[in-house]
Amino acid sequence: MKVDYDVIIVGAGPGGLSAAIYAARYKLKVLVFGKLLGGWAGSAHKICNFPSYIEISGMELMKKILEQVKALGVEIISDEVKKITGKNKKFIVETHKEKYNSKKIIYAGGTVRKKLGVKDEEKYIGKGLSYCATCDATFFKGKIVVIIGGGDSALTAALLLSEYANEVIIVYKQREFDNADPTWQEQVKKNKKIRCECNEEVVEIIGDNFIEAVKLKSGKELKVQGVFVEIGSIPDTYVLSELNIKRDKKGYIIVDKSQKTNIDGFYAVGDITNNILKQIITAGGEGAVAGFEVYREVKKDL
């Protein structure tokens, strides 16, 4: 088994990387696990509400943060954590190949995208169906695409796709985009390439080898070549099955103002927590608090 770490951070999004920066500057021995370096934040088309940048892509912002973490000498392993267990004031983090132990854990596992839940959904992945507009928008130049959802991620995806596709159709189950940022709403309404099928839901994807159309709840069929699913996400907590971590009704980890969970030595930050605002800036703030609290606890235990 690997030598002890003061803290292992699971997740390399803005919360986990900010925690790493603070913990490293406090001279703790830090290890970061991140299957997706930069987290989902790295796939954001445009970020316009992060202080210091009028506009920046998610990939560019997370690259800058990652460079700062590396400059501090933090060890980063791009691997998937399979299980976390705790015993005798030690935590064991397991991957497919190795086990690592640590005094403290900061969990920044984030969320996973929700699936649409229609028949044969998996069949169309890579054949017109996508869960990431930033990743796949360029493949739909000159085509007609559908975006399912009505939050910030759906509207920003629509704006990005409008730069490539001939037409972008948002299918949303409500009449208005009530939960989306008003600025994104305004830009979508002004964009002549974007229209909305509101009070509707996609109930079927149609096509042989590739997507050819979608069927709506009303019975209407839309001839499209691409479908982008942006209907939210769920907490990624499957690696915590052996820990009795308290969560709310939606599965988000309950933390206090110091980012502590109900388990001594176990902290959580970012989108995985029950904190109300899930943004890059708030995840970074939570990571900073957790990094500081871990430092205080480790120092107290010496």
Residues 157-213 have pLDDT tens digits of: 999 999 999 999 999 999 999 889 999 999 999 999 999 999 999 999 999 989 999
Q: Which amino acid is at 226?
A: G
Edge-first strand order for the sheet with 221-223 is 202-207, 211-216, 221-223
User: In angstroms, rounded to a whole number, what is the distance separating the alpha carbons of residues 7 and 233?
Assistant: 27
Q: Are 144 and 166 in contact (CB under 8 A)?
A: yes
Q: Do domains 5-112+233-301 and 115-229 have the same CATH topology?
A: yes
**CATH fold for domain 115-229:** FAD/NAD(P)-binding domain (3.50.50)
Listed residue (74, 81, 65) closest to 10, CA to CA = 81
Residue 24 is predicted with a pLDDT of: 98
Report in angstroms the alpha-carbon separations of 18 from 4, 34, 53, 269.
Answer: 21, 13, 17, 10
> Rounded to two decimals, what is the model's pTM?
0.87
CATH 3.50.50.60 fits 5-112+233-301, yes or no: yes
pLDDT (tens digit, 9 = 90+) per residue, 90-144? 999 999 889 999 999 999 999 988 999 999 899 999 899 998 898 889 999 999 9
Decide: 148 and 196 in contact? Cβ < 8 Å: no
Q: Where are the domains of the chain?
A: 5-112+233-301, 115-229
CA atoms of 185 and 52, how far apart (whole Å): 23
Q: Which two tokens stand for residue 127?
A: 């054949």
